[in-house]
Structure 1
Amino acid sequence: MASPSAETRQLTRQDARTLFLASLGGALEFYDFIIFVFFAAAIGQLFFPADMPDWLRQLQTFALFAAGYLARPLGGIVMAHFGDLFGRKRVFTFSVFLMAVPTLIMGLLPTYASIGVAAPILLLVMRMLQGAAIGGEAPGAWVFVAEHVPARRVGIACGMLTGGLTGGILLGSLMATGINMAYSPAEVTAFAWRIPFITGGIFGLLAMYLRRWLHETPVFEQMRERAGTAREMPIKTVLRGQGVSVAISMLLTWMLTAAIVVVILMTPALFQKMHGLAPAVTLQANVAATFTLTVMAVVFGALLDRFGTLRVGLAGGVLLIAATYGLYYGTEAKPENLLALYALAGAAVGMITVVPYVMVHAFPVATRFTGVSFSYNLAYAIFGGITPLAVSLLMAANRHAAAHYVGAVVLVGMAALGWNAARNVRTAADLLPAEAQPAAR
């Protein structure tokens, strides 16, 4: 007879260590991935010809940044394939290594003045390796912690991981602010831009070493002992028989990208243009928003464990829509309220924890890593890529188009939550080892 404690026990010290190490590694990986964008101006000057027009240099620099997103789906699918076949831990550890080494190398690369066209080519290769790594990190981290903790604590686990990932954005913003305060623009271009990359690479290697102490997930071990690993390619199984789960997961990821890309990443630049706000003012407000997002991602995770997906997701969606409109209309009316309104909007974005929570329940153990990774990375590549363009085009017709876009996409996400609840794909018990599951469902 199964012990009920397997499902209802509190988090142990081992669980806490697992969550801490996983969240730390996730934060460092996201820091490594996004630090590029904070120093794009210096990188553009150093890795392209000096006589290149500014608009073309900027375009090619951001094309290098975007290359990381294009590599995400392929890298995620490949790592998820091996994660479903050979175990979560190996791939989970390898993803940190695959991120840390290119980041360290980027900080040491010679510039265009030294090696010519080979400089941007090498930078492109490193950026694509980073993209492949991040494609496996977020899905792998969510699956890893969800399969480690008690079933009734999956929400807090996903929340801590999501907070760790967004915390990486906060670390990048703080590092960029610190470097630009400590060094002059000339010094940043001369050498200081390398410091964040070298630092990120070194700490990434440290995180990889610490992850060596993590254990394989009990759920994967039970599956391997009970029936062995999948006999066919996991992606084939996902595409053939789990299309509804993929569709729901992709729609929810669209909601996640709208919240992160528009509210967190695009809004500072939009407000500088719309309201003439100084970059320092919008950056300070953005740091506050990213901080409240990181905290509230954990809070929403705890609420998911207590109240369930549908109630928390719908309430969180309404809050996110209201906070986004409040940010855009409120800042327009009184720019001095930007900090408070942005912090509130960041807190509302914390509801995105519902996305990994639904995804890890949507796929069976044998294909869970692949299902989550395929859905998340494909949707992020598509919607993360078109969102800035779509919002920019819509803004030409309506100055509040960014808020309208977020509101519309969140409604789509809320509909997907209703669809998921109606079909009742999985319950939290699916994350338990076989002997801890109820005898009948």
Structure 2
Amino acid sequence: MAQVDTPMRSARQRTPRSLRRAVVSGMAGTAIEFYDFFLYGSAAATVFNTVFFPDRSPLVGALLALVTYAVGFVARPVGGLLFGHFGDRVGRKRVLMISLLMMGCSTLLIAAIPSYATIGVAAPILLTLCRLTQGLALGGEWGGAVLLITEHGDRERRGFWASCGQAGGPLGSLLSTAVLWIMASAMSNEAFTAWGWRLPFALSAVLIVVSYYLRRSVEESPLYQQAAERRTEQPKSPLGTVLRQHRKAVLLALFACIGEKATYYAFGIFGLTYLVETVGVPKADVLNALTIGSVFWFVTIIAAGRLSDIIGRRATTLIGVVLAAVWVPVGFLWMGNGHHSVIIVVMTVGLIADGIITGGTSAFFAELFPTEVRYSGASLGYQTATVLGGSVAPLLGVGLLAATGSVVPILIFVVAMLALTATAMFWAGETKGRDLTAIPVPATATAAEAPAPGPAPRTKTAERQSHE
């Protein structure tokens, strides 16, 4: 006899042990994948212009290096759609194992790519291909890891549990900037540029093995299991369902995320290039500031996630948006003096503001979509925002800095993206406490997909009126 879904059975599936495993493995896996992804961004802003584009001026070389960096962002929505499709069809856990291995192999290959001086133009081509693979892997990682945790957690602390998965991002950033800072501080600039930068990429092999072991022990999402048992046939295209029935939710996810992405990558990537190439701050000092800021970023995300369970997703997120909108222009103009202590303060407060937004929206994305298409829908909105906000911010900033010598254009861009995030939170309303098993299809979508009504039957009265 087939099993019937009951509240008692659901409670047995969502055990404290399974939740702990999901949180630990999700945070670890996300941290490792973001370590690899952010490591590339930090290296692109400080080293790759010399190693792979040596014939250009420092600022133009940095811009070309950031173009290869942006390729990974373009691949992230593709990865989100690909992994989201299979994650909604066959489960969250399986696709997360694949994304982890893809990220690890591509990062190891980056460590082994010869320089431009050794193999010429093949070097940046190989670098770009590896970056594409990184983008595909990370596009699948975020949606699966954060949603797996969210679907294991309870409604009352959903924001807190989801923020633990999101906190893997700053943990990965902390690891990457800390390792690069140690390398840059422990050796000469020449040695670091020649071979030292490769060691953090090679270290990824150890981290991937640890994360893979942790992820193997995780149980599949209980909400996904229940949804799979209820459905009578395998969905052919979760993405098609999202685009037909949940377009508004995708836009809300995109706008809610885009301000946070623009804020982080303005500080974390463009800020590196600006301070090193234009202001003349030593690489080690900037990486040190980012390392310190990442500690506060990590703590803030988790604290803001818990706060969102108390005062709501919207109120928490808007606090971060207001702080970021004020601090981005003030901070960038202030740290242009190049003082190390000022840079630490500016980076730290900027990442705290970003962390409040991240924590406030951690559970928000899952609360927009039903279980059957949650992986596809959340990934599409989130990863598209990383392209429009994350990759554009440093590229636009460096390009306009080279053309105008000013940081003002990029500051205007970031504030505009933050305005979109505020708009999304007002548009969506409060989602705290929403039942993840009972998210309805919008009435407009249902009506649009309903068969067109045929002509109304003619009554005798209507026939008589037509003759008259």
**TM bracket, shorter-chain basis:** 0.7 to 0.9
For residue 185 of structure 1, what is the aligned residue in structure 2?
189
Establish whether residue 31 from structure 1 lines up as the match of residue 43 from structure 2. no
Change (3 A) 1:58 1:350: closer
Establish whether residue 408 from structure 1 lines up as the match of residue 416 from structure 2. yes
Q: How far 1:234 moved relative to its partner?
A: 0.7
In the alignment, the residues of structure 2 paired with residue 140 and residue 417 of structure 1 have an alpha-carbon distance, to the nearest angstrom, of 23
In the alignment, the residues of structure 2 paired with residue 311 and residue 357 of structure 1 have an alpha-carbon distance, to the nearest angstrom, of 14
Structure 1 counterpart of 2:73, which letter?
Y
For residue 103 of structure 2, what is the aligned residue in structure 1?
99
**What SS is found at the alignment partner of 2:235?**
coil
For residue 353 of structure 1, what is the aligned residue in structure 2?
359
In the alignment, the residues of structure 1 paired with residue 168 and residue 49 of structure 2 have an alpha-carbon distance, to the nearest angstrom, of 29
For residue 387 of structure 1, what is the aligned residue in structure 2?
393
Deviates more, 1:74-83 or 1:63-72: 63-72
Describe how 1:304-319 pairs up with structure 2 within 5 A. 304-319=308-323
Instruction: Report if aligned partners of 1:43, 1:61 keep a CA contact under 8 Å in 2.
Output: yes
Q: How far 1:401 moved relative to its partner?
A: 4.6
Q: Which protein has the larger Cα radius of gyration, Structure 1 or Structure 2?
A: 2
CA deviation profile, 1:321-352 (whole Å, cap 9, x unmatched): 33435524555699554433432232121122
Structure 2 counterpart of 1:217, which letter?
S
1:173 to 177, 186, 192: 177
In the alignment, the residues of structure 2 paired with residue 398 and residue 258 of structure 1 have an alpha-carbon distance, to the nearest angstrom, of 18
CA deviation profile, 1:15-70 (whole Å, cap 9, x unmatched): 2232111111111111111222333465455556x7x4446755543332222122
In the alignment, the residues of structure 2 paired with residue 157 and residue 312 of structure 1 have an alpha-carbon distance, to the nearest angstrom, of 16
Change (3 A) 1:229 1:130: farther
CA deviation profile, 1:52-94 (whole Å, cap 9, x unmatched): 4446755543332222122111122111100000000001121
Instruction: Report if aligned partners of 1:147, 1:219 keep a CA contact under 8 Å in 2.
Output: yes
Q: How far 1:226 moved relative to its partner?
A: 1.2
Establish whether residue 372 from structure 1 lines up as the match of residue 394 from structure 2. no
In the alignment, the residues of structure 1 paired with residue 333 and residue 66 of structure 2 have an alpha-carbon distance, to the nearest angstrom, of 30
In the alignment, the residues of structure 2 paired with residue 401 and residue 59 of structure 1 have an alpha-carbon distance, to the nearest angstrom, of 16
Structure 2 counterpart of 1:367, which letter?
V
In the alignment, the residues of structure 1 paired with residue 359 and residue 372 of structure 2 have an alpha-carbon distance, to the nearest angstrom, of 23
Establish whether residue 148 from structure 1 lines up as the match of residue 152 from structure 2. yes
State the aligned residue count.
427
Structure 1 counterpart of 2:377, which letter?
G
Establish whether residue 126 from structure 1 lines up as the match of residue 134 from structure 2. no
Establish whether residue 299 from structure 1 lines up as the match of residue 307 from structure 2. no
Instruction: Report if aligned partners of 2:309, 2:432 keep a CA contact under 8 Å in 1.
Output: no
For residue 439 of structure 1, what is the aligned residue in structure 2?
none
Q: How far 1:361 moved relative to its partner?
A: 0.6
Change (3 A) 1:409 1:277: same
Change (3 A) 1:70 1:333: closer
In the alignment, the residues of structure 2 paired with residue 123 and residue 331 of structure 1 have an alpha-carbon distance, to the nearest angstrom, of 32
Structure 2 counterpart of 1:152, which letter?
E
**What SS is found at the alignment partner of 1:231?**
coil
TM-score by length of 2: 0.81
Q: How far 1:383 moved relative to its partner?
A: 2.8
Establish whether residue 420 from structure 1 lines up as the match of residue 428 from structure 2. yes
Instruction: Report if aligned partners of 1:257, 1:384 keep a CA contact under 8 Å in 2.
Output: yes
Q: How far 1:235 moved relative to its partner?
A: 0.8
**How large is the Cα RMSD of the aligned pairs?**
3.2
Q: How far 1:99 moved relative to its partner?
A: 0.2
In the alignment, the residues of structure 2 paired with residue 167 and residue 176 of structure 1 have an alpha-carbon distance, to the nearest angstrom, of 14
For residue 461 of structure 2, what is the aligned residue in structure 1?
none
Change (3 A) 1:5 1:341: farther
For residue 436 of structure 1, what is the aligned residue in structure 2?
none
For residue 231 of structure 1, what is the aligned residue in structure 2?
235
In the alignment, the residues of structure 1 paired with residue 396 and residue 68 of structure 2 have an alpha-carbon distance, to the nearest angstrom, of 20
**What SS is found at the alignment partner of 1:416?**
helix
Deviates more, 1:242-251 or 1:229-238: 229-238
Structure 2's unaligned 5+ residue stretches are: 1-5, 440-468
Structure 2 counterpart of 1:359, which letter?
F
Structure 1's unaligned 5+ residue stretches are: 434-441
Instruction: Report if aligned partners of 2:27, 2:167 keep a CA contact under 8 Å in 1.
Output: yes
Structure 2 counterpart of 1:369, which letter?
Y
Describe how 1:238-387 pairs up with structure 2 within 5 A. 238-271=242-275, 277-328=281-332, 331=335, 336-351=341-356, 352-387=358-393
For residue 437 of structure 1, what is the aligned residue in structure 2?
none
TM-score by length of 1: 0.86
For residue 207 of structure 1, what is the aligned residue in structure 2?
211
Change (3 A) 1:57 1:418: closer
Structure 1 counterpart of 2:82, which letter?
V
2:20 to 11, 16, 20: 16
In the alignment, the residues of structure 1 paired with residue 388 and residue 185 of structure 2 have an alpha-carbon distance, to the nearest angstrom, of 36
Change (3 A) 1:105 1:229: farther
**What SS is found at the alignment partner of 1:150?**
coil
CA deviation profile, 1:94-135 (whole Å, cap 9, x unmatched): 111110011112223344565555444333222211110011
For residue 75 of structure 1, what is the aligned residue in structure 2?
79
**What SS is found at the alignment partner of 1:319?**
helix
In the alignment, the residues of structure 1 paired with residue 191 and residue 325 of structure 2 have an alpha-carbon distance, to the nearest angstrom, of 42
In the alignment, the residues of structure 1 paired with residue 192 and residue 278 of structure 2 have an alpha-carbon distance, to the nearest angstrom, of 28
Structure 1 counterpart of 2:424, which letter?
A
**What SS is found at the alignment partner of 2:435?**
helix
For residue 458 of structure 2, what is the aligned residue in structure 1?
none
In the alignment, the residues of structure 2 paired with residue 65 and residue 405 of structure 1 have an alpha-carbon distance, to the nearest angstrom, of 19
Q: How far 1:429 moved relative to its partner?
A: 1.6
Structure 2 counterpart of 1:349, which letter?
D
Identity of aligned residues (%): 28
Instruction: Report if aligned partners of 1:238, 1:371 keep a CA contact under 8 Å in 2.
Output: yes
In the alignment, the residues of structure 2 paired with residue 67 and residue 400 of structure 1 have an alpha-carbon distance, to the nearest angstrom, of 25
Change (3 A) 1:415 1:39: closer
In the alignment, the residues of structure 2 paired with residue 45 and residue 166 of structure 1 have an alpha-carbon distance, to the nearest angstrom, of 27
